[in-house]
A and B are shown apart, each in its own frame.
Chain A
Amino acid sequence: MITIVDYGVGNLFSLESGLSSLGLSSEVTGDAERVSRAERIILPGVGAFGDAMRKLNEKGLSTALQSAARARIPILGICLGMQLLFEESHEFGLHEGLGLIPGAVAPLENDLREKGFDYKVPHMGWNPLTIKRRDCPLLKYIKDGTHVYYVHSFYAKNCDRFIAAQSEYGVLTPGLVWNGGVFGSQFHPEKSGTPGLTILKAFAEAVL
């Protein structure tokens, strides 16, 4: 059973459909008690970092996620959910994150401009993955160079040691990050076609 954390941000329909198409059962809950008793946890999310953290804190979900991580319960953050796993974000001010993976979240635009790239923000579309950590359990079925679907304006920095796969968009964009039992996917596995679904399948199978 995979527990999908519902804290009022984002569309869960595709994620639930993706899991059920793989024959995996899931529950959607915003209850901290249930999250802390979960077997596996997916933290989805779109929207603003500060707002999302406030909602997680208000519902006691931050503490539940942190204790789940300590208990080695596998956690997968997707998109904003991935960014929330880091220590902090510089999205419209400084916000503290869940602190489950060392690193920080910063706006793409500034770094692109600094490097002289006139790329569009959000980084939206299909970008190939370069695999850095072949031993990452979530990449079990993924070939190097597989395209995955990204939509984001902020990205994780200073987390090189934890990057399992990355894409290039002027700057190196961490696609999949990994720290023990905690995984984060900047792209949307539930929107990345058949290869994306294999990442969800591998997450359900991952033995820590």
Chain B
Amino acid sequence: MIAKRIIPCLDIRDGRVVKGRNFQGLSDVDDPVSLAEYYNEQGADELVFYDITASAEGRSLFVDVLREVASKAFIPLTVGGAVNSLADFDRVLKNGADKVSVNSGAIADPSLIERAARRYGSQCVVLSIDIKRVNGVFRVFAKGGRENTGIDALEWAKNGVDRGAGEIVANSMDTDGVKNGFDMPLLADLSDRVKVPIIASGGAGSEKHFLELFANPRIDAGLAASIFHYREVAIPELKRFLAQNGIPMREL
């Protein structure tokens, strides 16, 4: 049976890993290449990198980081951050990425999803959505969670999959950084709506939260950052705990 995936996420700015709390107050954590190698050895099933650099200089540092990671960690690598065009897809796919995650770029121009899926295949196109409840409705937020687009998040996920997205990263802004568990109501609604793999993000604080997450059989992966970076949860112990509780896990 296919294993559930545990995915550490690395936010990279100017070639360094950062992690925010509710997207604000970023603080430096580690060197991305050594962190990636560490996670690979620990049994991470995949790595996600978000390039949150604004400058062209920082962007070329990111490509250097990506190439170095991809020549040391032989597991799937997903890259996101400021992906607005097919040229952006090309840049990261040629430098070791296996999948590309689109967010604000797809909101600005949804045809990007179709064009990318046609050129690189759906398996390369990940739609990442920042989601927050506004008056009880799940809304899509753009620009790193700063701007409410007013778009219904469940509709947007469905639309993205219809256009060719092969996977969804659902990042709940309501649970992000709070460490009280994943946003299970959101994930239940979302998994009813779309048939592609779903990566849950935002809210993991303990091993138990991952067990709760995979109680929904339609969730494929759990993503987290700070709890892994700060070693609050260790991946080998987490995977052992989940396996003992009947969740299919990849054995090293």
Binding site for B on A (CB under 8 A): 11, 13-14, 17-18, 20-21, 46-48, 120-128, 145-147, 149, 151-153, 168-169, 190-194, 196-197
Contact = CB atoms under 8 A, between A and B. Distances in A.
A120 B120 contact: no
Interface string B97-121: 1100000000000000000000011
A147 B250 contact: yes
Contact of B76 (A13, A18, A149): A149
The list of the 9 closest CB pairs from A to B, nearest first, reads: A17-B71, A147-B250, A126-B250, A126-B3, A151-B123, A13-B96, A127-B2, A125-B2, A122-B123
A120 B220 CA distance: 10
B94 A47 contact: no
A55 to B, nearest CB: 14
B242 interface: no
A197 B196 CA distance: 28
A120 B250 contact: no
Interface in B108-166: 120-124, 166
Interface string B1-17: 11101000000000000
B196 A120 contact: yes
B183 interface: no
Interface string B213-250: 00000001100000000000000000000000000001
B124 A13 contact: no
Given A14-B98, A120-B196, A125-B220, A192 B120 contact: no
Given A11-B98, A151-B123, A197-B74, 14 more contacts: A11-B93, A13-B70, A13-B94, A14-B96, A17-B96, A18-B74, A121-B195, A122-B123, A122-B166, A126-B5, A153-B123, A168-B1, A191-B74, A191-B76
A125 B197 contact: yes
Contacts of A153: 122-123
Interface residues of B, number: 34
Nearest to B123: A151
Contacts of B95: 13
A42 B34 CA distance: 30
A193 B67 CA distance: 17
A128 B251 CA distance: 9
A14 B74 contact: yes
A126 B98 contact: no
A19 to B, nearest CB: 11
Contacts of A152: 123
Given A17-B70, A17-B96, A125 B5 contact: yes
A128 B124 CA distance: 22
Nearest to A47: B121
Nearest to B75: A193
B167 interface: yes
Contacts of A147: 3, 250-251
A151 B45 CA distance: 14
Given A47-B121, A122-B123, A126-B45, A21 B71 contact: yes
Contact of B197 (A14, A18, A21, A120): A120
Interface in B69-93: 70-72, 74-76, 93
Nearest to A15: B74
Nearest to A118: B195
15 contacts: A13-B67, A13-B96, A17-B71, A18-B74, A21-B72, A46-B123, A47-B121, A122-B123, A122-B197, A124-B123, A126-B5, A126-B250, A127-B1, A147-B251, A191-B74
